[in-house]
Each structure stands twice: as C-alpha cells, then as structure tokens.
Amino acid sequence: MSDGASKFLGVLGHPIGHSQSPRLFKRILSAEGRDDVAYRTFDLPNIEDFHTLTQDHPNLVGLNVTVPHKQAILSSLVRVSEEAQAVGAVNTLVKTPQGWEGHNTDVWGFQRSIQPFLANRHERALVLGTGGSAAAVHHVLAKLGIDAISVSRTGDSTKGTRALGRASIGYHEVSEWVVRHHLLVVHCTPVGMHPHDGDMVPFPTSWLTPEHLVVDLIYTPAETRLLREARGRGAAVLNGADMLRLQAEKAWEIWKTSGV
C-alpha cells in the first residue's frame, strides 16, 4: 500500500503482469486527489483462494476481475447486478457488509465506445470469438437492436458458457455474402495481442468495404493486423482503448457510490 492509503482497490487475474488497470487507476485516483486509496495487482492462479485473499487483506474494498476469473468468481458473490447476470460474467467487485457483489462495466465501456461510430447501416454484426468479452458485446448489440452472428473456431457458440447471438458459424463459413451483409465486425479474441502482433483470426478481410466498421477489443498493439488490413480496405476501425478507459471510469463510479 502506498504511504497514506487507508484502503485499497486492485485487479485480480492470472497472469496479471500485462494488466493496464494499475496505470488507469493511478491516473483516476490522482486526478481525484485520493491518496487515501491505493491500487494493486493480485495474481491469483486458483479462484478457490479468493476468500483467503480477502481475509488476508481486510482493507481491500473493491476489485477488478480479469481473465480467467470473470465467470468462475460468480459463485463466491452474494449479489450480482442484473446486467452482469445477463452477460454471465463480472469484471468489478464491491465489498459490502454482507459480502462481495459483482458488476459488469465492460458492457458500459463497449456500448459508450462504439456508439459515436455507429450509423443506421450497422444493423447486422459479426462477433468473432465466444468468450467473456463476446458475451458482453452480444448483450450490448442486442440492446442496440443490432442482429449479431457469432463466429468461432468450432462454429458452435453453445460450447461456451451460453448461447451467443441469433446464429453461430465457423470462420470457414464467412463467405463474401456474409461479410457484405454484416457491416459491423467486432473482434473478441486474444489473437493478435502483443507480443503476437502479426497474428490474426482467419477472417477474410479482403471483402471488407468503406461501409464497414471493424472494432477490435485489443488495445495493445493500438493497431492489430486485423485493424490494419480493415483500414487498408477503407473500413472505419476502432481499437479497445476507449472501452478500457470507460469500463475503468464506470468501475470507479460504482466504488465511489458504495462509499470508497
């Protein structure tokens, strides 16, 4: 804990070294003049050790949760917000007198980050990947009335924790027709993330057009190979940096409302 801090917040995951959250919250806490609150990382390989961790740190009042615990932690919580229940994953925890409660601010972050870029023509979407972030993305697209198809390596999104989107196809089924009829593409896999900057999911970028908006939730590198190729076809592109900042700001708002 830093000098003067009487309570702390943190991020829980495994591995955790790559997390951008400490940097983001250092900035938020400093901008708010909150030197009574510190932010740190918790590398927790086994989610069964969550209770021991919270007992060992009684001044811990809030947590961000990242891969691989966003879903597994649900059973350790006393309450889960409606939105997080709908998504089936949490990324923000608040300590209450009854126990820990969970929220999902990825939903807020994703929605606020894409809204300025959406046009009427973006009425159908392809969502690449079927993990936790894809579930948040599907939830937002459904709220916005955008019809989404799930694209995965198996072509079967029900193999994940829940059914995603109105249909599910494999990458090999993404034909020119499919690309031309889905003007929003959202990439929700870790493929292409630093240090594997040259990697890309097998998505046929040659059929993208200037009408397309391609969103990659990855924020390092700032431009993945997928976004570079999409930009090369004239598509509008957006990385995950805005979503990351917005979900952190929303988490801080939740913590402040809870009395942090």
Ligand X SMILES: NC(=O)c1ccc[n+]([C@@H]2O[C@H](COP(=O)([O-])OP(=O)(O)OC[C@H]3O[C@@H](n4cnc5c(N)ncnc54)[C@H](OP(=O)(O)O)[C@@H]3O)[C@@H](O)[C@H]2O)c1
User: Which C-beta is closer to ligand X: that of 7 or that of 239?
Assistant: 239
Nearest alpha-carbon partner for 103 in 124, 119, 127, 87? 87
Q: Is 22 in the site for ligand X (CB under 6 A)?
A: no
**Using CB atoms, what's the residue nearest to ligand X?**
131
Q: How far from 210 is each of 116, 119, 207, 233, CA to CA, in Å? A: 17, 13, 10, 7
User: Which C-beta is closer to ligand X: that of 10 or that of 165?
Assistant: 165
Q: Is 165 in the site for ligand X (CB under 6 A)?
A: no
70 is an active site residue: yes
Q: Is 184 in the site for ligand X (CB under 6 A)?
A: no
Only one of the segments 8-16, 36-44, 150-158, 205-213 lies at the binding site for ligand X (rule: CB under 6 A); that segment is: 150-158
Only one of the segments 51-59, 94-102, 147-155, 227-235 lies at the binding site for ligand X (rule: CB under 6 A); that segment is: 147-155
- Considering the complex, what minimum distance in angstroms separates the CB of residue 85 from ligand X? 18
User: Which C-beta is closer to ligand X: that of 146 or that of 188?
Assistant: 188
Query: Known catalytic residues?
Result: 70
